[in-house]
Amino acid sequence: MSVRKLPDNKVTKDGRAYAFYINEYGLDGKRHQHQSKAYMTYEEAVQAEKDYINKYKDIEINPHITFYQAYQKVYDYKKDKIRPTTLKTYRDRIVFMKLFWDVELVDLDSDLYQRWRNQLNKTNLSDRYKTDIQKLIKTICNFAEKQWDFNLRKFYNKLEPFKTPGAVKKEMEVYKPEEFYKFISVVNDPQMRCLYKSLYYCGLRRGEARGLQWKNVDLENRRIYIKHQVQNDPVTNNDKKWEICACKTATSHRTIPIPEDLYNELISLKAQEKRYNRNFRDTWFVFGGKEPIGTHKMNNWKNSYCKKAGIKQIRLHDFRHSCVSALINGNNPVTTISAFVGHSTPTETLDTYSHMFEESLEGVTNYFDKIYEENNKKTSEDVDN
């Protein structure tokens, strides 16, 4: 780096005639010379040079890389390392960050972040979704620090979850047991009846149910092994363009015991498949056959059955919520529920279903009322004796 006086034709109108120069590697990997803005005196340029050195110290890539350029680098790097659906979330979320796009990473600061939060708070998005959007910023910051030695920790530490004061958490749509049994009573197709019971009794995600193959159903030991899931192409969402991929998280790989009602349905369904399909293989999908059932069929039939049963419409994913609700009301430990539905940690279960656990607190007072009555009864008996 060096400080030089500018040629006469480069001196600004207000007399700024000094600049410093530095050779840097650009995003294309080639060496480029960077010229600073002009300064009034030689001393000002020297001080600016020192500040520049401190600001961009140890950065191994073009220090002027913008937020959007960093995003593109992250996206290209992750292409063969994460699922297509996750890449789609990157594309969906970056559009909410236009305020950052042309900002150099080293210029990210708390004022800019607060302006962005204010913009996002003007939308109708939920606090949870806004916090999920923000995760992409963290991904980019972590990548820049790890790959290029940017020091963005001061900015990173400003990122915090969105939480609207006094906001009431949106209630989940779930089926109580009596509602589910009313729904299932009108499902006359054996495969669809087995599907909806699997969603409800086992808390399966839609992709997990679609990816379930007969080789993963151990009827002898009454166990279902969740090994993978099926997802559609994230761009077209075409049921004909699907792929088998890893589960959502490592803890989503799990073993689920089969309740009696579902067990009988699976026994009957497998016998039917073997009876009508001589080429039956254990690699066939439980719901679909040679190919997994389509999401549109799952949803359309569900809507039709809801209407026929005369009960409220819920989403396919709400059968999973209904399962958790039933487990909570059955006073099952949160650790057990978390493992059953494949959450990363019990904390995730508590965060997602906190309002349901609050409703179950009524059982705590009932418990203390019960032991109080038993103690009084015992005391009375001792007095009588």
Section 80-100 average pLDDT? 91
> What is the pLDDT at residue 311?
96
Q: How would residue 376 be classed by pLDDT, with cut points 50, 70 and 90?
A: confident
Tokens for 156? 């990173």
**Taking all residues of the chain, what is their mean pLDDT, rounded to a whole number?**
88
Q: Is the pLDDT of residue 79 over 70?
A: yes
Per-domain residue ranges of the chain: 2-55, 67-156, 177-353
Q: What is the pLDDT of residue 3?
A: 87
177-353 maps to which CATH number?
A: 1.10.443.10
Give the N- to C-terminal CA distance of the chain in Å, as an integer.
Answer: 99
Residues 220-277: tens digit of each pLDDT: 999 999 999 999 887 788 888 899 988 888 889 999 999 999 999 999 999 999 999 8
How would you classify the pairing of strands 31-35 and 18-25? antiparallel
Cross-strand pairs, 5: 18
The pLDDT value recorded for residue 170 is 66
Give residue 362's Cα distance to chain centre.
Answer: 31
Which of 79-88, 113-122, 219-228, 263-272 comes out lowest in average pLDDT? Answer: 79-88
Look at residue 56 in the predicted model and tell me its pLDDT: 61
Q: What is the pLDDT of residue 382?
A: 61
Of 208, 184, 202, nearest in space to 287 by CA: 208
* pLDDT of 14 strictly over 80: yes
Edge to edge, what strands does the sheet with 18-25 contain?
A: 2-5, 18-25, 31-35
Q: Is the pLDDT of residue 29 over 60?
A: no
Token pair belonging to 317: 């994913």
For residue 53, the surrounding DSSP H or E stretch is helix 42-55
- Asked if pLDDT for residue 366 goes beyond 90, the answer is no
- State what percent of residues in the chain have pLDDT above 70: 87
- pTM listed for this prediction: 0.69
| Residue 205 pLDDT grade (very low, low, confident, very high; cuts 50, 70, 90) | very high
User: According to the model, what pLDDT value does residue 339 have?
Assistant: 93
Q: Is pLDDT at 338 greater than 60 in this prediction?
A: yes
Q: How does 53-75 read in b/e, with b if 16+ C-beta sit within 10 Å? A: eeebeebebbbbbbbbbbbebbb
**Residue 116 near residue 94 (C-beta atoms within 8 A):** no
* 23, pLDDT greater than 90: no
Mean pLDDT of 87-112: 94
d(CA 119, CA 127): 13
